[in-house]
Amino acid sequence: MGFFSLLFGGKDLSPEEEKKEQQRKQFDLLKYDGVKAMKIGQVDYAVKCFTEALKLKDDLETHDYLSQALLRKGDSQGALKELDILAQAEPDNALIQMRIAQVAYAEGDYKLMAAACQKSLQLQPDVPQTYYLYAQAYKGQQNLIGCIAMLTKAVQLKADYADAYLLRGQTLLGMGETDAADVDALWLLDKVGAHEDVLMLKARIEAIRGNTERALKAYDIVIEVNPFAIDAYRERGQLKYNAGDKAGAETDMQKVLELDPQALADVSGEYSAEGIEQRVKQAYSAVNPLGL
């Protein structure tokens, strides 16, 4: 026994205990180095740190950090694997299921997303954000009735849930329920105001109704709010073209091409003065009037 051990009443560590202590210190160092790296945007290094730390110790918090780092890196599948570990360890944690749903949405895996939302609601049934995620999963599966039902439940739980009103209005419009969509659009205009997505919804509603002037005014405001709104230029140009304003339609389509040079490549080829009217006509024939 060493002098300091005798002096303070301690005892020397066995080789096995010394090894475990070194592993504990190394784990802590790797874990917190990873946290620091993630905070300053060094995601690749953070992933390496967390991965190496987990080789030393299976730690749920580190799995959580690794899932976040992988997601920032763009590795959704890797993040889902880590979240699955967390879900198995904490089956009663509704928040983990919500995170799985969010990552599944990024992956376009709407079946997994719906399953995660269902599990989350079984654990915590009154969270409006979960109903919103469930609606997105339903919409991704083309179950529009289910989507509307989930969004309606979301706004029942959270009366000022603007995102839910917007998605419901957009979905209703896609279903051809113009008047119902307008109810949500008017609520949004009153509560949210001149937001780009809200104005686009209202413009599309008025365009479908045949109220060209109202639609044009809404598109004008969208472009004032966001001069880079490609869809607004494209859809406004279509309205102008249908109304006989060929010059206005050409100007808007030129703006679309300026913002996205590839936007018309599949329908019009190289954009030039020659044959401009025919190419504009071809371009607008491909535009979905619902913007969907």
What residues contact residue 162 under an 8 Å CB cut-off, 6+ apart?
A: 188, 191, 192
Question: In the prediction, which pLDDT does 75 show?
Answer: 96
Residue appearing with tokens 């044009």? 216
| CA distance readout (Å), 58 to 47, 82, 262 | 15, 12, 49
Question: In the prediction, which pLDDT does 14 show?
Answer: 78
Question: In the prediction, which pLDDT does 16 show?
Answer: 80
Determine the Cα–Cα distance for residues 134 and 50; give it in Å rounded to an integer: 31
Determine the Cα–Cα distance for residues 35 and 224; give it in Å rounded to an integer: 42
Question: In the prediction, which pLDDT does 265 show?
Answer: 53
Question: In the prediction, which pLDDT does 108 show?
Answer: 95
**Hey, is 239 helix, strand or coil?**
helix
Taken as a whole, the chain contains a residue count of 292
Question: In the prediction, which pLDDT does 7 show?
Answer: 45
Nearest CA to 221 out of 245, 246, 202, 243 is that of 202
Question: In the prediction, which pLDDT does 262 show?
Answer: 75
Residue 262 identity (one-letter amino acid):
Q
Residue appearing with tokens 């919409």? 139
> Tokens standing for 72?
């920032």
> Tokens standing for 263?
């936007």
Determine the Cα–Cα distance for residues 130 and 109; give it in Å rounded to an integer: 16
What average pLDDT values come out for the chain (292 residues) when binned by 10 residues? 47 76 93 96 97 96 97 95 97 97 96 98 97 98 97 98 98 97 98 94 96 96 95 94 92 91 54 45 54 48
Question: In the prediction, which pLDDT does 6 show?
Answer: 42
